[in-house]
Structure 1
């Protein structure tokens, strides 16, 4: 990345920190060339602290590191967007974000689950149920989705909320595996729904 640090008299550029899973903006910091290089090398976000007048790795005292997922530069080459996995609360006050917002998004959990399923497909282990399904092939995965769908229908006819929700979770989980087996994601399905909604 060719960051234009010279645009600022102090040689610092803003670094917007965003959760890679929830897309929630967590904080804003500043970086100089050394801070950016250290961040990219160590995969833990390091800023230039204007109050301490030194490099400062977020979490160096609290342990709440910001584990770097990706870094992008804006169109003017003077602002960074860093996507991270936070290891705990981000704000020094103990809040999830520096705007005192909760860093939660239930829908974003599905993105994380898809990543885990993708990893089980790419890096199978003997102990992984998901990997064992991939090993058995598309017919077994599709059969499992069918079985889970039938169980959801059966539980829908009764009034046991817990059983219905558990079977629904099983169906959704196995459907995500089926999508991965076919090299698709939930986003591909959402795009079809969006097109239909127009």
Structure 2
């Protein structure tokens, strides 16, 4: 890995810290050659502190270390992306990230959809929301809908109409997300189960 520390007059390059599991950005720090070397040697992220004018290993006082999983250099050779397994909160304020965000798994639009389902379940009386009406009918009706959508997806899989297959697949996934919430689970629980199986 060729890193161009000379682009900066102080020999510093930005290091973006990302959780290896959730892919959330946890913080941004700066490294010089010595900080990078120590990071590689110890497999714990070490920065160069511009305020203290010295090397500092994240967690050296708090115990909230950033254990290195992988280090990548960008196309210009002057920015690092470091995947880590954080031990405890990353920010000195006690939050998971330096932006005050929770470091929970995020499945992009699917996580947004989970939020919409949760909101409609808890705020709608069932008169205007299909989701709320399903929850009112109970677990048996929700499970039945998942079964129906699964059968329809299988039928379309055996056909040649890709548009209908995708349509039914989306219906199946939507109703499965409702079933997960009805059982008190989320996609993060499914991810954790699959990760355990992959060990």
What is the CA-CA distance between 1:77 and the residue it aligns to?
A: 0.3
Show the counterpart of 1:24: 24
User: Equivalences for 1:6-85 in 2 at 5 Å?
Assistant: 6-85=6-85
Counterpart Cα distance in 1 of 2:9 and 2:31: 13
Counterpart Cα distance in 1 of 2:31 and 2:106: 32
Show the counterpart of 2:168: none
Report the count of equivalent residues.
129
Show the counterpart of 2:164: none
Counterpart Cα distance in 2 of 1:19 and 1:74: 17
What is the CA-CA distance between 1:107 and the residue it aligns to?
A: 5.1
Structure 1 or 2, whichever has the larger Rg, is 2
What is the CA-CA distance between 1:165 and the residue it aligns to?
A: 3.7
Q: 1:176 to 1:105 in 2, by over 3 A?
A: closer
What is the CA-CA distance between 1:156 and the residue it aligns to?
A: 3.7
Counterpart Cα distance in 2 of 1:37 and 1:106: 32
**DSSP 3-state at the match of 2:39:** helix
User: Equivalences for 1:1-198 in 2 at 5 Å?
Assistant: 1-105=1-105, 156=143, 165=183, 176=194
Show the counterpart of 1:114: none
RMSD: 3.3
Runs of 4+ in 1 over 6 A off after TM superposition: none
**DSSP 3-state at the match of 1:35:** helix
TM-score normalised by length of structure 1: 0.56
Counterpart Cα distance in 1 of 2:26 and 2:47: 14
Show the counterpart of 1:191: none
Q: Structure 1: any 5+ residue segments left out of the alignment?
A: 109-152, 181-198
TM-score normalised by length of structure 2: 0.56
Q: 1:176 to 1:83 in 2, by over 3 A?
A: closer
Show the counterpart of 2:133: none
1:90-114 deviation per Cα after TM superposition (whole angstroms, max 9, x unaligned) = 1111111111111111659xxxxxx
Q: Structure 2: any 5+ residue segments left out of the alignment?
A: 109-139, 145-178
